[in-house]
Chains A and B, each alone.
Chain A
């Protein structure tokens, strides 16, 4: 997408420069050719290809109900903190650090207490809004154990920039121990 954009930008600006500096080089091009060529032939196939790719990729990323149900972690946002809970482990206490199992997809179930927030771990994927009255789900996967930074991406008032959190991905063996043992 990036190189495509660069190429298109260069093409348009080059044509503009040529038309200003050497109009004779382009003077033989008919008006219809400009409109059909530049306005239709050039962008339409590119846009269609992009749309199809994006649609397929988007389908792939969806949290669809499938054969293997991933773990569901609940993320609840309020001004200005996140609280993560793990309903699949009976006694797990809620945490302020998000603990993820590495190497497998998880569904984060995002809700909000007061105003609109947005759940985003830039290195793991897209974001999803936390909206009062709504429940949203995003499917993420941390490939390797480690620490990832998460933030609130929707403006939510005075403490907006302080509403970051830490996401720790654990090797599957350690995972249950971690959330079970965390106060």
Chain B
């Protein structure tokens, strides 16, 4: 099942993992009393990595479709759209790491 549906799911799966991870880092940083600067840097780096990974996934998906040429399926093409949407979602949902107070 996943063998065929992955193009549709992978972009947002990366988003979901990153979302969970950032939320956990935010919580743990406060719990363990990290220095605010270090906490902020970790969060921003995490968000940047997540966005970079999603872009990487998109590049791979586009390359995959190019390589397959006419053999690429509808799922591959729709999957590209889903990953683009996931990247946009990552940029917007992770933007608060730049600004918002992490522990108050």
Which residues from chain A sit less than 8 Å from chain B, CB to CB? Answer: 47-48, 51, 55-56, 58-59, 62-65
Contact assessment for A62 and B96 in the assembled complex, using a CB-CB cutoff below 8 Å: no
Instruction: List residues of B (59-104) whose CB comes within 8 Å of A's CBs.
Output: 92, 95-96, 99-101, 104
Residues of chain A contacted by B92 (CB below 8 angstroms) = 47-48, 51
Which residues of B are interface residues toward A (Cβ below 8 A)?
92, 95-96, 99-101, 104
A64 and B100: CB pair below 8 A?
Answer: no
Q: How far is the CB of A133 from chain B (nearest CB, A)?
A: 15
B99 touching A62, Cβ below 8 Å:
no
Q: Least Cβ distance of B84 to chain A in Å?
A: 11
Residue in A closest to B99 when the chains form the complex, CB atoms: A55
Q: Can you show 18 pairs from A to B with CB atoms below 8 A apart?
A: A47-B92, A48-B92, A51-B92, A51-B95, A55-B96, A55-B99, A55-B100, A56-B99, A58-B100, A59-B99, A59-B100, A59-B101, A62-B101, A62-B104, A63-B104, A64-B101, A64-B104, A65-B104
Please give 16 more A-B residue pairs, beta carbons under 8 A apart, in addition to A47-B92, A55-B96.
A48-B92, A51-B92, A51-B95, A55-B99, A55-B100, A56-B99, A58-B100, A59-B99, A59-B100, A59-B101, A62-B101, A62-B104, A63-B104, A64-B101, A64-B104, A65-B104
Complex CA distance for A63 and B63, rounded to whole angstroms:
49
When chains A and B are docked, how far (Å) is the Cα of A18 from the Cα of B101?
46
Chain B min CB distance to A60 (Å): 11
Separation of A59 and B96 alpha carbons in the complex (Å): 11
CA distance A81 to B99 in the complex (A): 38
The docked-state distance in angstroms from the alpha carbon of A59 to that of B102 is: 11
Task: Compute how far the CA of A58 lies from the CA of B101 in the bound complex, rounded to whole angstroms.
Answer: 10
Considering the complex of A and B, which 5 residue pairs feature the smallest CB-CB distances, nearest first?
A62-B104, A64-B104, A62-B101, A55-B100, A55-B96
A residues within 8 A CB of B100?
Answer: 55, 58-59
Closest chain-A Cβ to B40's Cβ sits at a distance in Å of 14
Complex Cα distance, B99 from A56, in Å, reads 8
- Measured between beta carbons, the chain A residues less than 8 angstroms from B96 are 55
Residues of the A chain whose Cβ atoms lie less than 8 Å from the Cβ of B99 = 55-56, 59
